[in-house]
Amino acid sequence: MYDIAIIGLGPAGATLARLLDKKYKVIAIDRKNSNDSKCCGGLLSPDAQKILAQFDICLSKEILVNPQIFSVKTIDLDNHIEKFYQRFYVNMNRAKFDKFLISLIPDKIEICNDTICMGIKKEDDASYCLELKTKGVKRIEKAKIIIGADGANSIVRNTFYKKYKIYRYISIQEWYEDDTNSPFYSCIFSKEITDSYSWTISKDNYLIIGGAFPEKDSNMRFEALKEKIKESGISLGKLVKREGCFVYLNKRFMSTCTGKDGVYLIGEAAGMISPSSLEGISYSMESAKKLAEIINGNFKNIEYKYYMSTLGIRIKIIFKILKMPFLYNKILRKLIMKSGIKTIKKYEIK
Ligand SMILES: Cc1cc2nc3c(=O)[nH]c(=O)nc-3n(C[C@H](O)[C@H](O)[C@H](O)COP(=O)(O)OP(=O)(O)OC[C@H]3O[C@@H](n4cnc5c(N)ncnc54)[C@H](O)[C@@H]3O)c2cc1C
């Protein structure tokens, strides 16, 4: 019997596993194998940088990629406006970042990679029974507390908290070889393509094109995005890889769920991701830190303490929801962009 089972070792699960008290017997499970990487923009926001600073964690240059970015070109295809805005992100390799966070987990924690959690059931003794599968081999493990750190489409959330409805979108990214030496970081808004947004990011010698799309017609929408990018004069190199995943779009005020009765959610599984920018790494590490602090006290009243301690995160998400019309409503976005607030005027060499 484990004290705690963590499902998922993204930034949320890896942070929690690192911070839990040594007195607990912990198992941490992830379906990823060493070659898998999360479909992600791989940009560390100032909030994520702040949490890393609080943890006194530095990133080696091997985790960073070229180029570092200081501005984003915002392309509004609905209103035919383009503006530049200053950005303070760190451009990094997401797969290496996740591996680095996992490498910080103490040896005492039992890590099971390449292991999928297929189901979770509550037992009569109030513990939980996990059905796991590693390379085709099934086994059962038991734990007193389950932590869902399993991202969007979380099995933990789907099993225990289905009533907390949350929009689920599909993210698709394609990586193209790019030897043009002209980095292109952009946010693209077009109602025709998606009611969320699309992007391009340069990473080492690749140009990534991606977007978050409603599940219906997601492939068609992605193809439409590529057409628009080509029409704008960007020529795409050789396609190197295509990746995709679900992403939670927390557009409702009540979609965040922290859990109860021995089953708790952290990170994106809890709905803790910015609905406006899809930035989520900071929320994942922050919620993991909050839950670790509470569990390390004792197992008493976790539900209430964790709910209250994440109030700040939920308020932040509410502000992001309120900000959404200014990004996604065509008329409001036009007004904001035309106003020139916070835009950068690019210096042109004559
Ligand atoms: C296309 C895209 C681009 C993004 N870009 C950025 C960005 O640039 N910056 C940023 O801050 N955020 C970004 N995000 C959001 C960010 O990726 C997530 O918010 C963040 O990864 C959430 O971390 P997490 O640990 O909660 O979940 P995840 O990182 O999703 O980790 C969940 C883990 O659980 C594992 N898992 C899932 N189900 C099971 C199961 N049944 N059994 C075992 N293991 C399981 C998965 O393998 C995975 O490792 C982006 C998201 C998308 C989709």
The mean pLDDT value of the chain amounts to 96
Mean pLDDT, residues 110-125: 96
Q: What is the pLDDT of residues 154-211, one digit of tens each?
A: 999 999 999 999 999 999 999 999 988 888 999 999 999 999 999 999 999 999 999 9
208 lines ligand 1 (CB under 6 A): no
151 Cα to the center of ligand 1, angstroms: 5
Mean pLDDT, residues 330-337: 97
The pLDDT, as a whole number, for residue 66 is 95
- Asked if pLDDT for residue 98 goes beyond 90, the answer is yes
The pLDDT, as a whole number, for residue 291 is 98
The pLDDT, as a whole number, for residue 253 is 83
275 lines ligand 1 (CB under 6 A): no
Torsion sign across C-alpha atoms 14, 15, 16, 19: positive
Question: Are 266 and 291 a contacting pair, CB within 8 Å?
Answer: yes
Which of these, 268, 270, 264, lies nearest to 246 by C-alpha position? 268
**Tell me, what amino acid is at 311?**
L
Q: Distance between CA atoms of 319 and 310, rounded to whole angstroms?
A: 15
Q: Please, how many CA atoms are within 13 Å of residue 225, restricted to the half-sphere of its CB?
A: 31
- Asked if pLDDT for residue 61 goes beyond 90, the answer is yes
Q: How far is CA 31 from the centre of its chain?
A: 16
Q: Please, how many CA atoms are within 13 Å of residue 199, restricted to the half-sphere of its CB?
A: 21
Q: Distance between CA atoms of 291 and 265, rounded to whole angstroms?
A: 9
Mean pLDDT, residues 47-60: 98
149 lines ligand 1 (CB under 6 A): yes
Q: What is the pLDDT of residues 250-306, one digit of tens each?
A: 888 889 999 999 999 999 999 999 999 999 999 999 999 999 999 999 888 999 999
**Residue 211 three-state SS:** strand
The pLDDT, as a whole number, for residue 151 is 97
Among all chains, which residue has been given the structure tokens 């940088």?
49
Q: Distance between CA atoms of 317 and 296, rounded to whole angstroms?
A: 26
- Asked if pLDDT for residue 128 goes beyond 90, the answer is yes
Q: How large a percentage of the chain has pLDDT more than 70?
A: 100
Question: Are 234 and 184 a contacting pair, CB within 8 Å?
Answer: yes
The pLDDT, as a whole number, for residue 236 is 92
- Asked if pLDDT for residue 84 goes beyond 90, the answer is yes
- Asked if pLDDT for residue 122 goes beyond 90, the answer is yes
Q: Which CA distances in Å does 178 have to 71, 75, 109, 269, 312?
A: 19, 21, 41, 34, 41
Q: Categorize the per-residue pLDDT at 150 as very low, low, confident or very high, splitting at 50, 70 and 90.
A: very high
The pLDDT, as a whole number, for residue 264 is 98
Residue 167: beta bridge partners? 249
Which of these, 239, 26, 30, lies nearest to 144 by C-alpha position? 26
> What is the residue with the minimal CA distance to atom 10 of ligand 1?
279
> What is the residue with the minimal CA distance to atom 22 of ligand 1?
268
45 lines ligand 1 (CB under 6 A): yes
Question: Are 23 and 61 a contacting pair, CB within 8 Å?
Answer: no
8 lines ligand 1 (CB under 6 A): yes
In terms of residues, how long is the chain? 350
Q: Which atom of ligand 1 is nearest to the CA of 273?
A: 19
The pLDDT, as a whole number, for residue 280 is 97
Judge if pTM exceeds 0.75: yes
Mean pLDDT, residues 125-148: 96
Pocket test residue of 29, 38, 138, 243 for ligand 1, highest count of atoms within 8 A of CB: 38
CATH number of 2-339: 3.50.50.60
Mean pLDDT, residues 90-96: 97
Q: How large a percentage of the chain has pLDDT more than 90?
A: 91
Q: Distance between CA atoms of 92 and 59, rounded to whole angstroms?
A: 9
- Asked if pLDDT for residue 350 goes beyond 90, the answer is no
Q: 283: which 2 tokens?
A: 């929320």
Q: What is the pLDDT of residues 241-250, one digit of tens each?
A: 999 999 999 8
12 lines ligand 1 (CB under 6 A): yes
